Structure 1
Amino acid sequence: MKNVEFSPSLMTMDLDKFKEQITFLDKHADSYHVDIMDGHYVPNITLSPWFIEEVRKISNLPISAHLMVTNPSLWVQQLIDIECEWICMHAEVLDGLAFRLIDQIHDAGLKAGVVLNPETPIDAIYPYIDLVDKITIMTIDPGFAGQRFIDSTLDKIVDLRKLREEKGYPYVIEMDGSSNRKSFQKIDAAGPDIYILGRSGLFGLDEDIATSWEIMNKDFKEMTGKSISFS
């Protein structure tokens, strides 16, 4: 039995094998993670609500949109319109917007998440922490795949677990960044509910997605003693 959930980051998939990889992952993953970058909050420009619609044509898994954007107000309604299950916004750009956007997402029957950069403390979201459905801890600097893992970010995962237990908050805890064989053991010790898998932890392990998943599963089991296979 799986103890945690796994969410492949589709920014790092092989788009030449889009249908093949989504079809396989639909039978193995728990959800998908879609990075939306505006070229301002972070230098890169990546995926979009349109991409989510394309995934939906062949997938039934929940999708989590990670908004790495300067003005989330410009994107939230677009994601509501396509009924994206999770809409996650960076705490660093939510000052003066948090309550309105969280309410807007919830009023649409969807789930609202907040994302914390490595330098951002948990107390930055205390005013609305009881309202969010998911808290994502960035374990790398945002905007680029393949960066080094920042070990100190794991302390926030531990603290969020304790806070959830003490206060009865409903949020799930997700980690994002360099989740792979080298980091699985220390991430597992911190105890997030959701692992995001990118290039180093999944898509870059082999050209064949089934083989990549098998390698990732083997790596995770060897490093943590836990199996994540559905079979």
Structure 2
Amino acid sequence: MKTSAQIIGLPIISIADGGQIGTVKLLIINPEKGSVDFLTIEQEDVAFGLKAIPFKKIVGIGEFAVTVEDDRAVIDLAEIPIANQLVNKQIRIKNTKAMTRKGELLGEVTEFFINDETGEIMGIHLQTEGRQAILSSEWVLTYGKDILIVSETAPGSLLDDASMLAEKIEAPIHEANEAEAETAAIEEIKEHNALKALREKQMELLQGKRVKKDILDLNGHILIKAGTILTAEHIVKAQTEGPSVMIDLSMNVDA
């Protein structure tokens, strides 16, 4: 998680050649998504026009630089309508007033916090009457040009430390990992049960039948000789060898 001040002014480095593309000039806010969608670039040669990097093209935001794969991550804002629209909205979060939807002034926004992996705005830093506090973005209803509208319950939801916002990043990741593990376990059980049912069916259909030709294992050796009356042990051996051997066996028994 980074503050806007930790990102603005950082050099932008191309991983491909190690060269500096420019420096971060502005963070372009998408008010509908509550995220930073683009970083505009300050370059020495202004003749190239206003350039930006989509947040999704950023490899990393470190203490000393923003990194991208190469200079192809850079776009011309004039060629991207959505980027132009966001620039023209001029949404600025710092130095705006935070007001509840019922018109109560909560304080002045002095900074905001960004998930440096996704660009999502995690929360804002407020100077309220008598204290400084943090408000999670879940209570922000509208990112306006001059005013942030927050829920009327926001005053009772202020946090003392920005680290509590970072916990909100880690919790969903942990929950998602648990959900994925649970889903994988369920799928594994289903596959196991399906395989067990298939093998039981094969046993039922083949046991007691006579083999019409030699059945070879995966190494080309005779696994079951022609003329053998199949027992459970023979069928288990074939199942252990794999599907191709079982198909060969199933197609070469007396009806």
Q: Where is the strand percentage greater, Structure 1 or Structure 2? A: 2
Could you say which structure has the higher helix fraction?
A: 1
TM-score range, shorter chain: under 0.3
TM-score (norm 2): 0.23
